[in-house]
Chain A
Amino acid sequence: MELYSLTIHELRELLKKREVSALEVTKSYLERIKEVEPKIDALVTITEDFALQKAKEADEKIKKGEDTALTGIPVIIKDNISTEGIKTTCSSKMLENYIPPYNATVVEKLLEEGVIILGKSNLDEFAMGSSTENSAFKTTKNPWDLSRVPGGSSGGSAAAIAADEAAFALGSDTGGSIRQPASLCGVVGMKPTYGLVSRYGLVAFASSLDQIGPFTKDVTDCAIVLNTIIGHDPKDSTSLKIDKPDYTSYLKEDIKGLRIGVAKEFFGEGIEEGVKETVQESIKVLQNLGAEIIDISIPYVEYALPAYYIIASAEASSNLARYDGIRYGHIAEKYEDLIDMYMVTRSEGFGKEVKRRIMLGTYALSSGYYDAYYKKALKVRTLIKNDFEKAFEKCDVIIGPTSPTVAFKIGERANDPLAMYLADIYTVSVNIAGLPGISIPCGLSDGLPVGLQIIGRHFEEGKILNVAYAFEQANKFNAKPQAIGVQDNEVRSSDWLRGPCRTFDREQNLL
């Protein structure tokens, strides 16, 4: 067993007993990255020197007995989360050379615990997409099948965990951007309740929907990471003051009498037969564990996707207006005057999907259309919220598939925006209602992972973790992606992994 294949709780055991050092763990992961990265392109920046330095500091901490739950554990952070002194590109040409002078609150929290940052992961530009194909730098491949997408927008983080490039990763979820890639890559991914994790330092896509969350190898790790990253932040007005629970206390196998809602709307049109069957079998597993399965209906959920595209795009059009090249980011070289400078800068800096959403959002907010689109969508949001509230009167959690399909082929939906949007059909309603949701691997269909989504009431992450843990214990998901091996000697000797924050791009063909 290699160190890099272990979970956080397994690594912590070894570190605590001083059987391995944080430096050894870190080196193991850096080696692993060197091996698999050329195949999957999950990372935009690798922070090797920084990681090695942090590993030494972590070992000091451990030596002094000052270590906590995540000390010495390597992480990969989605590249739309600000890291001081380390490029934060959002996988956009616009921010290709942008180095934030401050850390996101979650990054501060991780660093305080002695977490080791290995690098920044690839994403759909500004987190807009469901396949990571919209990155300006590279397309991340699914470790289960390199011809397929890892999902998105946090595809880099999901693929990195599936390929054992880090012990855990952070992503962000606006309409499914953690859960959908977690599903497609066969890892655990959670979007917490809106307001549970500080958004300070997360480059905004849609402020009223965005939430940071973890990717882990199992449910226990998810609870461990959650313990660290949640909590009220005075820098984020929408972050809530709640008593911090110990999420690991919810990791129990007992779910007897728990009411699990199954909504027919989550098994509708477009769902693949293999996905449907795998999820239905999973429901049986939970039933056998003593849970009560209740049929429910969330009638307005079919309006979640169109409402989502209006709300998210409108907010994005405003959030992305600041990119004008004056204070940071790409700036045009040739232009006629000030207005032209804005137009050329922004047209050069943004990719197609980003422009499409800015256009849609600007249109939805523009004079004469606000009521018909934005306000209407906010009203539909109320209906969906009420729908879930009613459903949660009958059950404790709701389950269903995370994604209607398994990982699709690279390029398959690239030219059809609407088809791509449908990838989020089961996840967006959770963001619209601000609820917590997790995706855990529940089996394979045609050799590709299927994700089970568990949705809870606001701030009931504990209950979700309880169900997820019980399921995981009863139905161990031991399959490993086969598309990346542990061999590949040909890349060993290369020295492409130098420097504190190296950016890869397409030109550097590393394979």
Chain B
Amino acid sequence: MIFATKENLFISYLKRDLVVSFRGKSASLNPLIFFVMIVLLMPLSLGSYSLALQKVAPGIIWIMALLSVLLSAGSIFDEDYNDGSLEQMIITPNLLFLPLLGKMTAHWISKSLPIAITAPFLGLFLPMPENALIPLLVGLIIGTACFTLLGSIGAALTVPTKDKSFLLALIILPLYVPIIIFGSSVIYYMADGMNWRYPLAALSSIFCILVVLSPLAISGIFRSSMIE
């Protein structure tokens, strides 16, 4: 019985947040549009010389995906904080683990996953070699999930502060280092003819650690700030 309630908590928060984000159409598309625009501006600053672009394209796409996810994940709790429903969630006797995981999953599906899916198409524009597109996609699907999980910790820490975008980047960017290293290595491994599943496995293990630790850390942050 208890198990059934908990499962419903995850599903219900996932559904609620998905509905909220799909009803407010334009806002949930903004990170994706930002990502597309900023990646397509890159050739204008780097020149259209295709060999040079080919070499830096994976790095560009990874860094820009990082920025887009960071910007959107920073405000994951803002709406709930402003209308008070975050407080209601915290004072319920339930463990916060599943509701938080549901919220983050919804955020990832509605805002980060579109970025990962669009990236290979942008890769064609830059241009990237066609056989690098699948590693890019797979790496970004796991990578954006990691970005969302870590970015939500930063969002939880900075919820009551104003003008938080730079502060959030400041505290979260150093933590993104392993993800960006392993994520972009997936493509460089493939380009060098090595087995790209090794960095992908490292990336997946980081994801597994984060999926357990991130909701725990966030619920600790919320519970301790509520005591005051």
**A and B interact physically:** no
A residues bordering B, Cβ < 8 Å?
none
